[in-house]
Amino acid sequence: MRCGDAAKGLAVLRRSLFFVSWPFFILYLLLPVYGRQIGASTVEIGLFFSAFSLMTVPMRPLIGWAVDRFGRRPFFVLGLAGYAATWVSFAFIEQVWGIVAARLLQGVSSSFVWLTAYAIVADLSAEGARGRAFGNLIQASSQGSIVGTFVGFTLLNARLSWGGQVHSAGSWQLLFLGYALASLVAFLHALWRLPETSPQHTQAAARRASANSPIVWSRPWMLLLLVTLVTGASWAMVSPILVVFLQDKLGVGIDVLSWAFLPYGLVWALLPGYLGRLADRFGRKPMMILGLVMAAVSSFVIPAVSSLVTFAALWALQALCYAAGDPAEQALVADLTGGDQRGRAYGLYVLAADLGATIGPVAGAWLYQSVSPPAPFVANAAVLALCAGLLAVWLRVPAVSPRGGGSRAPAGAK
């Protein structure tokens, strides 16, 4: 694939992810509210979140193998269609178990889309430009989430100003159908424009053979998976109890808190592409360590915040740290594995993160209730700092070829 074709393929991928990401952030905030609206208990609302992870964990390795064997494009397009079907389901189902089923479908769709997207970026980006490419991927999704959140709150507030009930069934239905339409746009765009990017897609027999070749379990690769698992669990300790902690400490509602998260969202929407360049220039390892250290510091300080403005600044710093480290980490997966193994490699990488995200919330809730409200934040800071030390001492990564005037062909060009 020529450089120009690779750039077009990456642009199609980013645009598709922009549209499909519209509901992501607002759903995280409002799913408990919607659960209450349809009569779900607290346990059932928890099940809404668990159902998603229940599907993603077993699906990742299977889809990774299939992506290497059969190609990237079919699974990406199918995942986008699954997202559209998810939001249609949300619009017309008002029973608890129907929503659980819709969340299961969303988990399958997420596994298809994101694992395949990582493999496509690795296929189409040059080795010395992968950090920037992965940063641009994160950036496009974050921009879509901000637009979708703005559209969603505007719609709900408009219903209220017109004299309707903001939490009426009609409001929710209109919201979810709008998100289904955005996902449909993403699906059609990818269906018409996205090329197959697998390095072996023109040689079916060779691809099937390569899909059965083992991944080399080097020490850097195993250490990366371990750190991904542990930091995923550590981050998940904090995220479910964050809003509760802030409401208890600062005495503000979710409508006010949503503004405090705005700087955090803007960092993810504007900076990952630029920060990813630093990973290409200075190496994956330094950016990963810097991101973990700074995230540890901000997590340690958060329990001491006494104002919403201070929290907004600290949480934006947290986003800045992860926006610097995540593209480097995702690019390192491609650096450590071969082109014909990227689907399985990213399947294992995301599986490690998902396993951590499944374990972390339970630990965080226990620390919050049994030890003290600041305990999950302090534990998160300690774990992140420990992982930074492990990477500093033990991680040995391959040298990254710098991007030189376009002379290097993208991965998969041969």
Confirm whether 95 is domain-assigned: yes
Confirm whether 179 is domain-assigned: yes
How far is C-alpha 287 from the geometric centre of its chain's CA atoms? Answer: 18
Token pair in block for residue 359: 């374990």
Asked whether residue 266 falls in the same domain as residue 192, the answer is: no
Which residue in this structure is represented by tokens 């907004």?
312
Asked whether residue 276 falls in the same domain as residue 133, the answer is: no
Confirm whether 413 is domain-assigned: no
Asked whether residue 239 falls in the same domain as residue 367, the answer is: yes
Confirm whether 403 is domain-assigned: no
Asked whether residue 251 falls in the same domain as residue 339, the answer is: yes
Confirm whether 147 is domain-assigned: yes
Residues 6+ apart with CB under 8 A from 288: 325, 328, 329, 332, 388, 391, 395
For residue 205, with 0-12 CB atoms within 10 Å meaning exposed, 13-18 middle and 19 or more buried, which class applies? exposed
Residue pair 284/400 in contact (Cβ under 8 Å)? The answer is yes
Residue pair 157/137 in contact (Cβ under 8 Å)? The answer is no
Residues 6+ apart with CB under 8 A from 73: 190, 194, 195, 196, 197
**Amino acid at site 23:** P
Report pLDDT for 209. Answer: 45
Boundary of a domain, candidates 212, 233, 259: 212
CATH of the domain at 6: 1.20.1250.20
Report pLDDT for 128. Answer: 84
Other beta carbons within 10 angstroms of residue 128's beta carbon come to 16
Q: Which residues of 262-297 are buried (b: 16+ CB within 10 A; e: fewer)?
A: ebbbebbbebbbebbbbbbeebbbbbbbbbbbbbbb
Asked whether residue 116 falls in the same domain as residue 258, the answer is: no
Report pLDDT for 404. Answer: 39
Residue 240 belongs to what domain range? 217-397
Residue pair 334/224 in contact (Cβ under 8 Å)? The answer is no
Residue pair 351/225 in contact (Cβ under 8 Å)? The answer is no
Boundary of a domain, candidates 160, 180, 212: 212
Using CA atoms, how far residue 268 sits from 141, 287, 322, in Å, is 9, 16, 9
Report pLDDT for 39. Answer: 84
Residues 196 and 90: their CA atoms lie apart, in Å, by: 31
Confirm whether 315 is domain-assigned: yes
Phi, psi of 56 (to 5 degrees): -70, -35
Asked whether residue 193 falls in the same domain as residue 246, the answer is: no
Report pLDDT for 409. Answer: 29
Confirm whether 404 is domain-assigned: no
Q: How many domains does the chain have?
A: 2
Residues 207 and 150: their CA atoms lie apart, in Å, by: 43
Which residue in this structure is represented by tokens 């507030």?
157
Report pLDDT for 237. Answer: 85
Per-residue pLDDT of the chain (414 residues; tens, 9 = 90+): 556 678 899 999 999 999 999 999 888 777 877 887 788 876 777 778 778 877 888 888 899 989 988 899 999 999 999 999 999 999 998 888 998 899 999 999 999 999 999 999 999 988 888 999 999 999 999 999 999 988 888 877 765 444 444 455 677 888 999 999 999 999 999 999 999 987 765 444 444 444 455 666 888 999 999 999 999 989 888 876 787 788 788 887 766 777 888 898 889 999 999 889 999 998 999 999 999 999 999 999 999 988 889 999 988 988 898 898 999 999 999 888 866 788 889 999 999 988 888 788 778 878 888 899 899 999 999 999 999 999 999 998 876 655 433 322 223 333
Q: What is the pTM of this model?
A: 0.82
Residue pair 291/324 in contact (Cβ under 8 Å)? The answer is yes
335: nearest Cα among 348, 321, 350, 345: 345
Residues 33 and 270: their CA atoms lie apart, in Å, by: 29
